[in-house]
Structures are given as C-alpha cells and as structure tokens.
Amino acid sequence: MNAIQIMNNEHKYITRMLKVARIMSKNILNGKEIDYDDFDLVIEFIKNYADNHHHKKEEDLLFNRMIENLGEVAEKVVKHGMIVEHDFGRLYVSDLKIALEKVKNGDDEAKLDVIASLISYTHLLERHITKEDNVIYTFAQRELTKEVMDLVDKECVEFEEKNSTIRDKYIKILEQLELKYL
C-alpha cells in the first residue's frame, strides 16, 4: 500500500466519524441529553487520529515534499489551503471543548455552540477530504517524481508500522460509536 492509499483509507474512517458527529448534534437539537463521555471520545478521535495521526503524515511527509519539489504552486495550495483548513479544524474542536464545558456548567444556550462547532467541523472536513482525494493527492502523484513519491511511501508505511496501535485504538472507538449512534 502506498502513502496516498493509506491517506485515502484514513479519510474513510474520518468520514465515518463525521456521520456519528452529525447524529450526535441532531440528538442535541432534538432535546436529548449530551453524553459527555461520547463527546470526549469524538474529540479524542479527531485530535489523535484525524489530526495527530492523519494530518501529521500529510503535513510532515507529503505536503512538505510538495513544497520542496514543486515550488510556488504547491506552496500556495498547501500553505494557504490545506494547512489553513487543518488549523480551522483545530479551532472548531477547541470551540467545541469550550462549549461543552459551558453546558456542563449550566449554560443551556451553549448547546447551540456545541452544535455549531461540531457541524462546522464536519462541513469543513467533508469539503477538505474531497479536495485532498480528488485534487491534492492526484496533483502530488502526477507532479512529484517517482523517487520523491517512493520516499513519501516509505516514510508513510514506516509511520503506520510505528503507530499501528494508535490507528487500531481509534478505529475501535469509531466502531463503538457507530454501533451506538448509527
């Protein structure tokens, strides 16, 4: 399996979690109590799987090589597109944590902020994943030399081997949440 296939597969898991997150938001909208433990699991998945595991590979292994080897066009697309969107995702998760804490402390209106933050995150990531799968990854595969892509593949596979327990842990959490919410 090459780096792009690995990252495409990770997108599938992230997209599945986005579906769970939407249902959790809908439940709040429909007046159900917030299950803080489940929200903690979603946040943990986002931070440790989507961001630290997946986005780290993109940023450190693929995007940096694109900037180094493809110049200004790649730099604009990566730094002013993909990285900015990763940062917006981090902001939405930070806002989500703050809103959940407010609700815990009795601020019922902050439920709106929980929903807004989580739905903003899902919308952002849905569009972001589509761009990466259909444009960025294709661009990288087409424009980077075979040697550079081979290096990215090698580093990505090594990263996966070193971090397989992390990957497996978060896929298991995803599956548990899917059983409960879907």
pLDDT digits (tens, 9 = 90+) for 13-40: 999 999 999 999 999 999 999 999 999 9
pTM score: 0.97
pLDDT digits (tens, 9 = 90+) for 66-89: 999 999 999 999 999 999 999 999
**CATH numbers and ranges of domains, the chain:** 3-181 (1.20.120.520)
Query: Would you place residue 94 in the very low, low, confident or very high pLDDT band (cuts 50, 70, 90)?
Result: very high
Give every CB contact of residue 171 below 8 A, 6+ residues apart in sequence.
Answer: 13, 49
In this prediction, residue 47 carries a pLDDT of 98
In this prediction, residue 110 carries a pLDDT of 98
Mean pLDDT of the chain: 97
Over range 88-107, report the average pLDDT.
98
The alpha carbons of the chain give a radius of gyration, in whole angstroms, of 17
Sign of CA dihedral 67, 51, 125, 100: negative
